[in-house]
């Protein structure tokens, strides 16, 4: 399995895997602001007890439910083209309800997890940047989500080069 790693949203430095260093997932003001601190990033999207792909799926759910025409540049595919979209867009459904429907309909036979939705919408740089609330990670504890660009993926997958 590959690593999920990014470049700092401010200076473009690597967010390294398996290194004792503080990194921060920035949180949009709309969802409380501030940041989530991680001191030893594992390379799999886990920061401070959260999965960054769960977060991006949550942060963008309302917008994407209201904008079925939203197109992801990487695959040139609309969000509504995804088999799981109808369940995800139903805001009355909980995560568990959505995943149950997705599993019943076999929309994600490879991995029925909430994070899979986040991976599908934010794994590629252009797709992440197209979201109203993209992933933003930095080494700067004073950074503010709304003042930073989306983080880009690290071509070296978090391993020092």
What average pLDDT does the structure give for the chain?
93
In which residue are the tokens 């501030």 written? 34
pLDDT of residue 110: 67
Give a yes or no: residue 153 inside a domain.
Answer: no
Task: Name residues whose C-beta falls within 8 Å of residue 53's C-beta, 6 or more positions apart in sequence.
Answer: 4, 45, 114, 115, 116, 117, 118, 119, 122
CB 127 within 8 A of CB 112: no
What's the pTM value of the predicted model, to 2 decimals? 0.94
Domain holding 38, by residue range, is 20-147
pLDDT at 109: 65
7 Cβ partners below 8 Å, 6+ apart? 13, 14, 15, 151, 152, 153, 154
Whole-angstrom distance, CA of residue 26 vs CA of residue 29: 9
pLDDT, tens digit, 9 for 90 and up, residues 129-154? 999 999 999 999 999 999 999 999 99
Task: Indicate whether 66 belongs to any domain.
Answer: yes
pLDDT band per the 50, 70, 90 thresholds, residue 1: very low
Angle between helices 52-59 and 114-122 (to 10 degrees): 80
Residue 9 lies inside a defined structural domain of this protein: no
Contact assessment for residue 32 and residue 26, using Cβ atoms and an 8 Å cutoff: no
Total tally of structural domains belonging to the chain = 1
Instruction: Provide the token pair at 74.
Output: 């990487």
Answer yes or no: is 3 within a domain: no
pLDDT tens sequence across 53-84: 999 999 999 999 999 999 999 989 999 999 89
The answer to whether residue 78 is domain-embedded is yes
In a domain, 102, yes or no: yes
- Within-domain flag for 5: no
Give a yes or no: residue 1 inside a domain: no
């Amino acid at each position: 399995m590959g690593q999920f790693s990014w470049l700092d949203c401010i200076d473009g430095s690597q967010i390294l895997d398996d290194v004792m260093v503080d990194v921060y997932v920035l949180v949009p003001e709309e969802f409380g602001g501030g940041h989530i601190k991680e001191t030893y990033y594992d390379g799999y999207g886990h920061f401070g007890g959260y999965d960054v792909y769960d977060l991006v799926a949550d942060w963008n759910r309302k917008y994407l439910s209201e904008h079925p025409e939203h197109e992801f540049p990487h695959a040139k595919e609309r969000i509504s083209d995804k088999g799981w979209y109808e369940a995800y867009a139903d805001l009355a459904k909980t995560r568990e309800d959505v995943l149950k429907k997705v599993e019943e309909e076999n929309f994600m036979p490879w991995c029925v997890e909430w994070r899979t939705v986040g991976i599908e919408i934010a794994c590629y740089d252009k797709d992440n940047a197209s979201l109203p609330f993209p992933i933003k990670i930095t080494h700067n504890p004073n950074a503010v989500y709304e003042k930073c660009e989306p983080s880009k993926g690290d071509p070296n997958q978090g391993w020092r080069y």
